[in-house]
Amino acid sequence: MVTTHQRLVALLDQHRINYRIVEHIHEGRSEEISKIRGNDPAQAMKAIVASVRGGGGGKRYVLAVLPGIRKLDMKALCRAMGAQKGRFSPEEEATEMTGCVMGAVPPFSFRDDLPVIVDPACRINREVVFNAGRLDRSLFMAFADYERIVKPAFADISFA
């Protein structure tokens, strides 16, 4: 079975993206992993699987991406999705949707039923970093390349 990490690396290679992978101890918490990697925590992109309901649609999932130093604003995410209610997906659902354990989810979706919404605050960094589908691997790449490949929707979905 192909892992999310392998799919991610293959996608970046297919698009001839410059990136670097850093191996480190198992860690998925944004603040802690930034210390280990030696990056500015604002440079980190954290990906959170959430589910929303209402607004004319049934239950649907979304991959919310925000800077590692910010928190998800669930009400803002619901507005962006045209939904009335939202919640963080339980670990089992998040793993099912992404193929990753919590903390290892990259800001990429390999499913049509998991759209990506990125907070514009991520754009302030020329280079971003995130766990790459594994708790012991992180990936650094240009934000412009990320945006070009993922083509995410953008919405203000976080707060400090």
Sheet hosting strand 57-67, strand order edge to edge: 85-88, 45-54, 57-67, 116-118, 153-154
Instruction: Using DSSP, state whether 19 is helix, strand or coil.
Output: strand
* Domain containing residue 91: 4-159
Which has the closest alpha carbon to 78: 145, 160, 155?
155
Which has the closest alpha carbon to 59: 43, 81, 76, 40?
81
> Domain with 68 in it: what CATH number?
3.90.960.10
Interatomic CA distance for residues 24 and 51, integer angstroms: 30
Contact criterion met (CB below 8 Å) for 107 and 53: no
Interatomic CA distance for residues 47 and 65, integer angstroms: 4
| pLDDT tens digits in sequence order for the chain, 160 residues long | 899 999 999 999 999 999 999 999 998 888 888 889 999 999 999 999 999 999 887 899 999 999 999 999 999 999 999 999 999 999 999 999 999 999 999 999 999 999 999 999 999 999 999 999 999 999 999 999 999 999 999 999 999 9
**Rama region for 115: left / alpha / beta (φ>0; ψ in -120 to 50; rest):** beta
User: How many domains does the chain fold into?
Assistant: 1
pTM: 0.95
